């Protein structure tokens, strides 16, 4: 079948089944928050880069034990996100394609940021929130211009264009709060900025900006600039740029070879500062918080520091949840872009005692890690790595607050975008033009708006749905199946 016919059939049936599911939910009284109609004023989305189910369990066993619960797990809604990219070569996603699916609701190829598979810029949920008058923020302990945050606020064909991404933040998507690492892309070569070039812990780090002095540009545009924890604490403006490291806010090396996870500002502190600034906006806010160490340390098969990174993420989630408890119009989501390392959590006893059931771990970088203590017990476990790369496993999603009910189930990662948009704007999201200097063609943003609009999950309607709508939906559903079968057979 040719691609456009297939896409038409798929999106038509997807929209119909979403409509029918939504109507069924509304008809059954729904799981929506009382009084809110599933509508949120604010969204805080946490992304644990590389955080699959096993990573969440690893963090849980090591931190709160078998019977405890992490903040990120103690949430009323849970689902599972499928992560494959739309890539001609790669089966397994990277963070750029994964981030773009979550931020813009389209599948794209690995390395692509904020553009679809045909390289058209696609509006992001952050840009739509901005055009609706909300404040927005990007917080990460990776480079602030790394693939995940970039997917929310930039449009480039190659994730490595980090200075271009920074410039697009300042001049196009304009998030009010930008906190994390990656100072090297904000200063041109030869101008070290606040964090010295070629530091002892990583001599390869030095300024490599391609767009001039972007810190000065940011200050001209009204951003208050912080370079360390003290300056961040002292900052009082509601436009805030903080760059706390040359690259990532940690050193990802193999165990015993200089690996350090000790960010100079904790993720939870950056999250709190961002919420304090953004929540002053009476129109509400959207905040993306990424923890990057889970992925980077999993690439190094370093379970000890995956645990440390996971604890930082969980503390940041706790901050988001406390805010949401005081402002229940807030949807909080904890998601991931993909899994990294395909780790297994194994009993120490099994390894030693049962030759009939050997484990498969080999030598070298991806052998076992540990043993680690199971918190609050006298048991221990080891971590056994399969790969030093990303995998195609589904990743868990948990949520609380209005619209969180739409994240129950098993779905493509693009649905996380649809659920955020639905929670914030119902069936009529504000249009936002995705203007990417690097890739935009004259018609690109119009095309992008149209295609993003077509992916919109219909309004869940609330509890007062007329019977005739249900009947109509049923009729349309039957028709949709017929039409799609015909298209599939006809082109097959």
> Residues forming the annotated binding site for Zn(2+)?
49, 295, 299, 337-338, 390
Query: In terms of Cα–Cα distance, which of 317, 311, 316 is closest to 294?
Result: 311
In the bound complex, what is the minimum distance in angstroms from residue 338's beta carbon to Zn ion? 7
Query: In terms of Cα–Cα distance, which of 250, 264, 268, 347 is closest to 306?
Result: 250
**Do the strands 409-412 and 380-384 form a parallel or antiparallel pair, or are they unpaired?**
unpaired
For position 127 contacting Zn ion by CB under 5 A, the verdict is: no
Residue 63's contacts (CB-CB under 8 Å, 6 or more residues apart) are 70, 307, 310, 311, 314, 375
b/e map 22-51, b = 16+ CB within 10 Å? bbebbeeebebbeebbbbbbbbbbbbbbbb
**C-beta of 295 vs 394, nearer to Zn ion:** 295
Binding pattern for the stretch 147-186 against Zn ion, x by CB under 5 A and - elsewhere: ----------------------------------------
Count, residues near Zn ion per rule CB under 5 A: 1
Rounded Cα gap, residues 335 and 314, in angstroms:
12
**C-beta of 245 vs 423, nearer to Zn ion:** 245
Q: Which residue, judged by CB position, is nearest to Zn ion in the bound state?
A: 295
Is-contact 53 393, C-beta < 8 A?
A: yes
In the bound complex, what is the minimum distance in angstroms from residue 31's beta carbon to Zn ion? 34
Which residues are annotated as catalytic?
A: 95
Binding residues: 49, 146, 148, 290, 295, 299, 337-338, 390
In the bound complex, what is the minimum distance in angstroms from residue 94's beta carbon to Zn ion? 7
In the bound complex, what is the minimum distance in angstroms from residue 299's beta carbon to Zn ion? 6
> Per CB under 5 A, which of residues 287..346 are in contact with Zn ion?
295
**C-beta of 97 vs 165, nearer to Zn ion:** 97
Binding residues for Mg(2+): 49, 146, 148, 290
**C-beta of 127 vs 295, nearer to Zn ion:** 295
**C-beta of 51 vs 226, nearer to Zn ion:** 51
In the bound complex, what is the minimum distance in angstroms from residue 455's beta carbon to Zn ion? 26
In the bound complex, what is the minimum distance in angstroms from residue 341's beta carbon to Zn ion? 9
Token pair, residue 405, equals: 């009910």
**C-beta of 263 vs 480, nearer to Zn ion:** 263
In the bound complex, what is the minimum distance in angstroms from residue 49's beta carbon to Zn ion? 7
**C-beta of 197 vs 337, nearer to Zn ion:** 337
Q: CB atoms < 10 A from the CB of 367, how many?
A: 13
Rounded Cα gap, residues 162 and 129, in angstroms:
23
**C-beta of 94 vs 422, nearer to Zn ion:** 94
**C-beta of 286 vs 336, nearer to Zn ion:** 336
In the bound complex, what is the minimum distance in angstroms from residue 340's beta carbon to Zn ion? 5
Could you tell me the maximum CA-CA distance found in the chain, to the nearest angstrom?
70
Residues that bind Zn ion (CB under 5 A): 295
């Amino acid at each position: 079948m040719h691609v456009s016919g297939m896409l038409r059939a798929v999106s038509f049936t997807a929209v119909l089944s979403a409509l029918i599911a939504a109507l069924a939910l509304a008809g059954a009284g729904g799981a929506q928050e009382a009084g809110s109609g599933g509508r949120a004023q604010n969204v805080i989305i946490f992304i644990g880069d590389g955080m699959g189910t096993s990573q969440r369990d690893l963090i849980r066993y090591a931190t709160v034990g078998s019977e405890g619960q992490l903040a990120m797990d103690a949430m009323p809604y849970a689902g599972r996100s499928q992560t494959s990219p739309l890539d001609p070569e790669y089966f397994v996603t990277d963070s750029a394609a994964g981030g773009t699916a979550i931020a813009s609701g389209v599948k794209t190829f690995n390395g692509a940021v904020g553009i679809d598979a045909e390289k058209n810029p696609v509006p992001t949920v952050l840009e739509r929130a901005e055009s609706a008058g909300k404040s927005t923020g990007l917080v990460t302990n990776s480079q602030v211009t790394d693939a995940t945050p970039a997917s929310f606020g930039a449009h480039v064909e190659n994730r490595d264009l980090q200075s271009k991404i920074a410039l697009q933040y300042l001049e196009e998507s304009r998030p009010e709060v930008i906190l994390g690492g990656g100072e090297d892309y904000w200063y041109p070569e030869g101008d070290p900025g606040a964090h010295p070039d070629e530091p002892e812990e990583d001599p390869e780090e030095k300024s490599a900006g391609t767009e001039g002095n972007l810190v000065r540009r940011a200050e001209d545009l009204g951003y208050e600039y912080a370079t360390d924890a003290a300056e961040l604490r002292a900052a009082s403006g509601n436009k805030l740029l903080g760059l706390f490291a040359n690259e990532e806010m940690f050193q990802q090396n193999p165990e015993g070879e200089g690996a350090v996870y000790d960010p100079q500002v904790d993720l939870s502190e950056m999250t709190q500062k961002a919420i304090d600034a953004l929540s002053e906006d009476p129109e509400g806010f959207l905040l993306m918080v990424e923890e990057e160490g889970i992925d980077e340390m999993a690439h190094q098969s370093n379970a000890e520091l995956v645990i440390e990174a996971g604890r930082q993420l969980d503390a940041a989630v706790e901050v988001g949840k406390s805010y949401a408890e005081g402002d229940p119009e807030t949807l909080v989501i904890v998601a991931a872009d993909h899994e990294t390392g395909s780790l297994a959590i194994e009993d120490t006893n099994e390894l030693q005692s049962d030759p009939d059931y050997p484990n498969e771990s080999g030598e070298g970088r991806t052998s076992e890690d540990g043993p680690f203590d199971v918190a609050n017990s006298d048991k221990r476990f080891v971590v056994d790595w399969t790969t030093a790369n990303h995998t195609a496993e589904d990743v868990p999603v948990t949520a609380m607050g209005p619209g969180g009910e739409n994240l129950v189930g098993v779905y493509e990662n693009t649905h996380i975008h649809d659920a955020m948009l639905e929670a914030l704007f119902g069936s009529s999201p504000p249009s936002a033009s995705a203007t990417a200097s690097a890739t935009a063609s004259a018609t690109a943003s119009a095309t992008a708006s149209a295609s993003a609009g077509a992916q919109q999950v219909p309004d869940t309607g609330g509890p007062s749905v007329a019977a005739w709508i249900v009947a109509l939906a049923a009729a349309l559903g039957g028709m949709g199946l017929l039409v799609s079968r015909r298209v599939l057979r006809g082109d097959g």
